[in-house]
């Protein structure tokens, strides 16, 4: 990026962050109203609203771990403390996501904690049923339906292995998660009008919505910046994902708040598209049209070097 774009991005970081606080307040309000009042007259409507609030809360948690809306990490973590999506501890999300921001290892089956690619050597030795499952997960329909479950299983297995190996930081992340979940469970049990099954379904639906965003954020490519996508969606999903669909911009300027990303993209659109080798989609409707029942990528990493084993 040129010096003007870098200066523009750095200036936007210093803008007042009231938009983040407003969205955070509205997110908690929608979730609370849905669980208490909406659930009284329509369980399906309550499920939809809780799912949207849960996905929005995850997007806000992403903002918090990148230093928004305040410069104090503890205060940011406190703002998103209630675990509306239940299954992912904030501190583990923070650590794994920041590790993912090491762009040199993006899509690496071992070093990128958010990749869906597998080492080809591992893939070859998987049983047939697992290969079928992972191939289905590489279609958008599969990612939305079974992706949250597969991702959660892989995430928890990896963390359990680290805990058994004596990683106290990972253990602490899960222990701090207990009160964050307890707050939400206590609300559901004591205040909410939603049945537990409906609430859990809304949680799964929220995680499914997030899988839409992550479905094509990265691809295998020999150039680092060309691994990261742009989805020029400026509507509903852009707000739900807090403009993280402009993903290559976020990776270049992870400290820029969500509401400033569209302007940063507009200021250097041609440069970003040149840098990421035109890895762009016009909207999420295009993503649905192309990949609902067709895999975007193979499961085994197509560029993984021979002999690279951990």
Structure tokens at 291: 């990949």
Q: How many angstroms separate the CA atoms of 78 and 238, rounded?
A: 25
pTM to 2 decimal places: 0.92
Pairwise CA distance, residues 74 & 81, whole Å: 10
pLDDT tens-place string over residues 173-228:
999 999 999 999 999 999 999 999 999 999 999 999 999 999 999 999 999 999 99
Alpha-carbon span 9 to 267, nearest angstrom? 10
Write down how long the chain is. Answer: 310
HSE toward the beta carbon, residue 2, CA cutoff 13 A = 8
CB 83 within 8 A of CB 90: yes
For residue 52, what are the contacts with CB-CB under 8 A and spacing of at least 6?
30, 206, 209, 240
Is residue 309 in some structural domain? no
Distance CA 114, CA 211 (A): 11
Model confidence pLDDT, tens digit, residues 139-166: 999 999 999 999 999 999 999 999 999 9
Residue 37 belongs to a domain: yes
Number of structural domains in the chain: 1
For the segment 52-62, what is each residue's pLDDT rounded down to a tens digit? 999 999 999 99
pLDDT at residue number 304: 85
Model confidence at 298, pLDDT cuts 50, 70, 90, reads very high
Residue range 268-274: mean pLDDT, rounded? 95
**Which whole-number Å values give the CA distances from 135 to 8, 132, 281, in the listed order?**
42, 5, 22
pLDDT band at 234 (very low <50, low <70, confident <90, very high): confident
Residue 262: inside a domain: yes
Specify if 302 maps to a domain. no
Is residue 30 within 8 A of residue 53, CB to CB? The reply is yes
Q: Which domain holds residue 79?
A: 3-291
Cβ-proximal residues to 41 (8 Å cutoff; 6+ apart), any chain: none
**Residue 178 within any structural domain of the chain:** yes
Q: In this structure, what DSSP letter does residue 230 have? A: E
On the question of a cis peptide bond just before residue 69, with omega within 30 degrees of 0, the verdict is: yes
Q: Which phi and psi (to 5°) does residue 10 adopt?
A: -65, -35
Is residue 206 classed exposed, middle or buried when 0-12, 13-18 and 19+ CB atoms within 10 A define those classes? buried
Which tens digit of pLDDT belongs to each residue from 218-230? 999 999 999 999 9
76, 70 contact by CB (below 8 A): yes
pLDDT tens-digit readout, 89-130: 999 999 999 999 998 999 999 999 999 999 999 999 999 999
Which segments within 36-151 are labelled E, that is strand? none
Judge whether 174 lies within some domain.
yes
Residue 16: predicted pLDDT: 55
Is the per-residue pLDDT at 306 higher than 70? no
- What is the rounded average pLDDT for all residues in the chain? 93
The Cα angle at residue 63 between residues 60 and 64, in degrees rounded to 5: 90
38 falls within a domain: yes
Distance from C-alpha of 183 to C-alpha of 160, rounded to nearest angstrom = 24
Residue 257: inside a domain? yes
- Up-side HSE of residue 285: CA atoms within 13 Å toward CB? 5
Distance CA 132, CA 66 (A): 36
Kindly tell me if the per-residue pLDDT of 241 is higher than 60: yes
């Amino acid at each position: 990026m040129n010096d003007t774009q870098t200066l523009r991005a750095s200036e936007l970081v210093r803008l007042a962050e009231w938009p983040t606080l407003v969205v955070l307040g509205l997110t908690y309000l929608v979730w609370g109203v849905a669980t208490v009042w909406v659930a009284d007259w329509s369980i399906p409507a309550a499920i939809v609203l809780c799912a949207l609030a849960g996905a929005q809360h995850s997007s806000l948690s992403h903002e918090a771990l990148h230093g928004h809306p305040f410069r104090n990490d503890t205060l940011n973590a406190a703002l998103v403390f209630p675990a509306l999506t239940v299954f992912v501890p904030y501190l583990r999300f923070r650590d794994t996501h920041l590790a993912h921001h090491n762009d040199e290892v993006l899509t690496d089956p071992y070093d990128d904690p958010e990749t869906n690619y597998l080492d080809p050597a591992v893939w070859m030795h998987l049983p047939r049923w697992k290969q079928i499952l992972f191939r289905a997960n590489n279609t958008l329909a599969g990612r939305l339906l079974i992706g949250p479950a597969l991702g959660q299983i892989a995430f928890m297995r990896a963390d359990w292995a680290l805990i058994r190996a004596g990683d106290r930081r990972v253990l602490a992340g899960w222990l701090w998660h207990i009160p964050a979940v307890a707050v939400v469970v206590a609300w559901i049990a004591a205040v909410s009008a939603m049945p537990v099954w409906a609430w859990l379904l809304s949680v799964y639906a929220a995680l499914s919505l997030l899988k839409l965003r992550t479905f094509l954020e990265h691809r295998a490519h020999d150039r680092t910046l060309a691994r990261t996508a742009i989805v020029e969606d400026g509507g509903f999903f852009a707000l739900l994902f807090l403009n993280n669909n402009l993903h290559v911009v976020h990776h270049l300027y992870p400290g820029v708040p969500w509401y400033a990303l569209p302007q940063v993209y507009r200021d250097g659109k041609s440069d970003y598209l040149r840098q990421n080798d035109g890895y762009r989609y016009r909207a999420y409707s295009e993503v649905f049209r192309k990949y609902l029942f067709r895999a975007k990528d193979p499961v085994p990493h197509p560029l993984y070097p021979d002999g690279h084993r951990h």
